[in-house]
Amino acid sequence: MLITSEILAKKYAAAYLRCYRDELSDEKLERLAFFERFLATHKGVLLSLTIPTLTIEAQTHILQKMADHFHVTEGLQKLIALLIRHKRLVLLRFVLRLVHDLYYQGKGIIFFTISSSHALSAEEKQQLLAFTHSIMGSSIQVRAIFAVEPEMIAGIRIKSDIYLWERSINKLLHQVQQTMIQRVGL
């Protein structure tokens, strides 16, 4: 995303939170995150809604139906209408992501994706959560989503929007490759 788009998305998200922070709950934010993941997976949805021949009323109607399907709040429907009027609908996914992140950041909660090359047991997951919490300090609450990435070969990656910690064969191979490229001078 371009820097100007990122700044705009952050301004829309911050404005939304100023107006609707008190109405939000973990459940509502989870629905919002689910809607954002849907838009991330189906990138063509927002792109198709920006076709110039599509009227603002049609765009609003389609997104209203989607918002109803995902049970998003009335405030979010107003945000969608505002983005349509400002012809910045393509920012919606990023605004949703930032609303989620800024809300929890304000509460001292950081979300991580913990990836491993294989499925982890419940005990291993607890150990990784404890490790992540020890890195972040006691003032930060850690929430995590666990994912399996076989291409890592072997290892663990702990990643948020701001932080990254990784120990894996894949990372080691990448470092060796970079060293070889530097030595050869490519």
pTM: 0.66
Indicate if the pLDDT at residue 21 is higher than 70.
yes
Determine the Cα–Cα distance for residues 10 and 12; give it in Å rounded to an integer. Answer: 5
Q: What is the pLDDT of residues 88-98, one digit of tens each?
A: 888 998 999 88
Q: Where are the alpha helices (DSSP H) in the chain?
A: 3-20, 26-41, 44-49, 56-69, 74-85, 92-106, 122-136, 169-184
What average pLDDT does this structure show over 53-61? Answer: 85
CA 142 to chain centre: 15
Structure letter (DSSP) for residue 121: -
CA 143 to chain centre: 13
Instruction: Tell me whether residue 31 is exposed, middle or buried, using C-beta atoms within 10 angstroms of its C-beta: 0 to 12, 13 to 18, 19 or more.
Output: middle
